[in-house]
Amino acid sequence: MGMALELLGVSKTFDGFQALAKADFAVESGEVHALLGENGAGKSTLMNVAAGLYRPDQGRIRVRGREVALTGPVEARRLGIGMVHQHYKLVKAFTAVENILLAQGAARYGAGLAEVEAAIRAQSEAVGFAVDLRRPVGSLSVAEQQRVEILKVLVAGAGILILDEPTAVLTDREAEALLTTMRALARKGAAVVLVTHKLGEVQRHADRVTVMRGGGIVASADPASLSAAELTTLVVGATANPVHCPATRIEGPVLAVEGLAGTRSDGLQTLYGLNLTIRAGEIYGLAGIGGNGQTELAEILMGVRRAGTGRIALAGDDVTGAGPKLRRARGLAAIPADRQVYGLAGDLSVAENYAVGGLASGRFGGWLRVDRAAIRAATEAAIAAFDIRGARSPRQKAGLLSGGNAQKLVIAREFAGRPRVVLAHSPARGLDVRATADIHRRLREARDAGAGVLLISEDLDEVMLMSDRIGVISRGRIVREFDAPADRQAIGAAMVHHA
Amino acid sequence: MFDFLVNWLANVPTFALPYALAALGLIITEKAGVLSLGAEGFLLIGAMSGIGVLLGVGDYPLLALTVAALAAAALSLVYALLVVTLRVNQVIGGLALVFLAQGMTGVIATRAGWTSRPVDGLHTVPLGSLADIPVLGPILFQHDPLVFATVPLVALVAYVLDRTMFGLRLRAVGDGPDAADAAGIRVALTRYGAIALGSALVGLAGGYLSVGVAKIWVEGMSGGRGWIAVALVIFARWQPWRALGGALLFGGIEALIPRIAAIGVALPQYLVLMTPYLATLAVMIWICLRQDGRSLEPRALGVAHLREERR
């Protein structure tokens, strides 16, 4: 059958970050086409362009061979392109019928409701699943909400179906059922794009696979012609092995996590009985695809999110129920993923941001008096010692520092009290090569001074470079552990296979 | 005692009407996801421009009310520009608008010499023998046209919001702007429309204060009713009929105060004036204690919409 949708040389930049670099993509009618890649590879961005939600900076789009200008989602829908987003585009207070009516548009509300309801019933019979049409979709399960989304697209008569990581929120059985349905739709002539980072799905359900990395296309092939190892290489990339500096003296455990369960802010459980031990004098790298529980683990360890069940011991003391203050007193230092939100108060000065970590020690004055001179002196010393540039004076606002220098300020503060456990969550995210090297050097120094370092990162290269031991987190558990030097392919495979 | 009751009940609609119209307007605006703290300002603009028409153009009370609504709608476009297009914080934008309106009405009315000049204003609709029915006559049939128009207006707004495509789109924009955007609804345009329409109703309420009730313009004559209307919307959980009920309750309390004072009962009037706020607080606490309480509040209330935001 013919080409359904072609994206040619599409580029898109967000605030200076290139999300798509001349990406080409094409899907035929009658096929299930997998778009594979790591988080941040640009898959969702590319498909949002196809759905008319993002306007590309460059590039052309062809639908059924004809070049089109996608001015918005309405135009995309008119051309028969329907997208089921990762974050559902549903009005939670509305019922399924109202949601679909909203997307369909109708002249009259009452008549429209009846029409849409009939269309939903016809479509849900055709694809073989039912949804509750009367309840607000916000009260439906995630799988049901997804069905509403799919029905919405089908009722609109879409011939090109894009599903953005549809199985991420489903149980295995639900996922299998969904993918079988998609295959049936393709057999009837639809073009189905399956955005995913799961190799298994690609191998079992896709006719063709396009692999993305770093905003560009790295390959487009028949998945049957590639082995799992070859696919993994395409996804995570093959780069030269970086220089690794191993630990010199590893001692007993300083951080022990047992059977940790936890939930995300929206109530979804993301940690399922996670076990983790970190010893003094080592860097433990936690690799994994984003959204597998890393954020919740970091927040629970920092003490800003409550653990569901499980135990956390810091240097032998149980701190499971303790707040951040007690944990810090026990020797925990944290470099949060979002330095501008959790790491620093951007409107306060560099000196105030530095001093806030040491207030409890009494170094900077007591209850009533703040010793400004001591703060300024300590901050100036830290600025010099940690090479924080761009801070012309300790009184300058911390929010004006560049990413790398802001991170150095966080580290200067956190390392001031000789920590026993360092939690570093994506510490080099968004930093340039030199700043990254500086941050990494500091982490190694902390390790060599006897701290246990937990490095959580979605960047496999960073984990490989830094770690003495590597754990792979998937679906809220550590699924495999490796001793350095570890095989990159094996880690990559553990990341994607268990996902 | 009986006369007292009849007299009180006959006056309730006049006191309740500004609350009902203002709350109705705010419901329209807030159902589209735009917080509207500027109600006090729109009341003032409406009240002043209504008197302006009567003094400047002539004795046409219905024209005065229309202009009151249009003037508030026009000013609300400034607010829409701030919070929809420029995405200014809606609390700050709303407060700024109140102060702007306070200053503006003061200056204009003083310059034009409209202050403290009595006007003829709105009259009771002559309903002949209906008005002469004992008890029911004064309570139900001796009112000005706007009182009679209010209940149909509430019904109309309730119907449009709940039972039309326009209402569905408007609620979608307030409940899930991302979803509405993906469905091809023009979020910004819808919000502009909701702000203008809602503010026109608030302006009409303001016009009624000066043209229908006081029949005079005095600086700051809205006297905090805009804030009560804001509270009333929360009290009514964004539902038009409940807002009408709340308006009658609050209006009833307000109508009671001078009458109680007149028959010589010593009642702490400031305490009585506090009751609308206390009632609203009580409702809010009750809602929070119930688990499903938030379901009626527009989910995107106060949140600016930006399409290419990456999360």
Question: Given B165, B171, B295, which is nearest A112 (Cβ)?
Answer: B165
Residue A206 amino acid letter? A
B306 found inside a domain: no
Say whether pLDDT at A112 is over 70.
yes
Say whether pLDDT at A341 is over 80.
no
At residue B189, the 3 state secondary structure works out as helix
Cβ atoms of A101 and B171 closer than 8 Å: no
B173 found inside a domain: yes
A136 contacts B295? CB cut-off 8 A: yes
Q: How far apart are CA A24 and CA A404, in angstroms?
A: 33
B175 contacts A109? CB cut-off 8 A: no
Q: Is A372 on the interface with B (CB under 8 A)?
A: no
pLDDT bin (cut points 50, 70, 90) of residue A16 is low
Cα distances (Å, whole numbers) of residue A239 to A188, A234, A285, A460, A464:
42, 11, 18, 11, 11
B298 found inside a domain: no
B293-308 as b/e: b if 16+ CB within 10 A = eeeebbbbbbebbeee
Cβ atoms of B63 and B207 closer than 8 Å: no
Say whether pLDDT at B310 is over 60.
no
Domain range holding B31?
2-289
Average pLDDT over residues B105-117: 93
Given this model, what pLDDT does residue A238 score? 61
Given this model, what pLDDT does residue A325 score? 86
Q: Which helix (H) or strand (E) holds A210?
A: strand A208-213
pLDDT bin (cut points 50, 70, 90) of residue B311 is very low
pLDDT in tens, A46-87: 999 999 888 999 999 999 999 999 888 888 988 999 999 877
Report chain B residues whose CB lies below 8 A from the CB of A101: 165, 168
Say whether pLDDT at A241 is over 50.
no
Report chain A residues whose CB lies below 8 A from the CB of B176: 89-94
Give the closest residue to B60 by CA, choosing from B211, B199, B206: B211
The crossing angle, in degrees rounded to 10, of helices A96-104 and A109-127 is: 110
Question: Given B172, B307, B311, which is nearest A91 (Cβ)?
Answer: B172
Q: How far apart are CA A363 and CA A371, in angstroms?
A: 8
Give the closest residue to B23 by CA, choosing from B217, B247, B304, B278: B247
Beta-bridge partner residues of A274: A260
The rounded mean pLDDT for chain A is: 86
B307 found inside a domain: no
Most confident by average pLDDT, A114-128, A195-209, B97-111: B97-111
Say whether pLDDT at B125 is over 90.
no
CA trace torsion A135, A136, A137, A143 (10° rounding): -30
Cα distances (Å, whole numbers) of residue B37 to A191, A383, B45, B67, B170:
49, 45, 14, 22, 19
Say whether pLDDT at B223 is over 70.
yes
More confident residue, A340 or A257: A257
B73-105 as b/e: b if 16+ CB within 10 A = bebbeebbebbbeeebebeebbebbbebbbeeb
Report chain B residues whose CB lies below 8 A from the CB of A106: 165
Cis before B118 (ω within 30): no
Q: How far apart are CA B68 and CA B102, in angstroms?
A: 15
Helix, strand and coil content of chain A, in percent to the nearest 5, comes to 40, 25, 35
pTM exceeds 0.80: no
Say whether pLDDT at A142 is over 90.
no
| A1, two tokens | 């059958």
B165 found inside a domain: yes
User: What is the distance of C-alpha A474 from the center of its chain?
Assistant: 12
pLDDT in tens, A347-396: 888 888 888 877 777 778 777 788 888 889 889 988 888 888 777 788 88
B300 found inside a domain: no
pLDDT bin (cut points 50, 70, 90) of residue A430 is low
Which of A17, A83, A100, A109 is best to mutate for the B interface (most B CBs within 10 A)? A109
Spatial strand order in the sheet of A309-314: A269-279, A253-263, A309-314, A317-318
Q: How far apart are CA A131 and CA A155, in angstroms?
A: 14
B66 found inside a domain: yes
B100 found inside a domain: yes
Please state the ipTM of this predicted complex. 0.84
Q: How many distinct structural domains can be found in chain B?
A: 1
Q: Which helix (H) or strand (E) holds B224?
A: none
Q: What CATH number does residue B54 fall under? A: 1.10.3470
Q: How far apart are CA A244 and CA A236, in angstroms?
A: 19
pLDDT bin (cut points 50, 70, 90) of residue A280 is very high
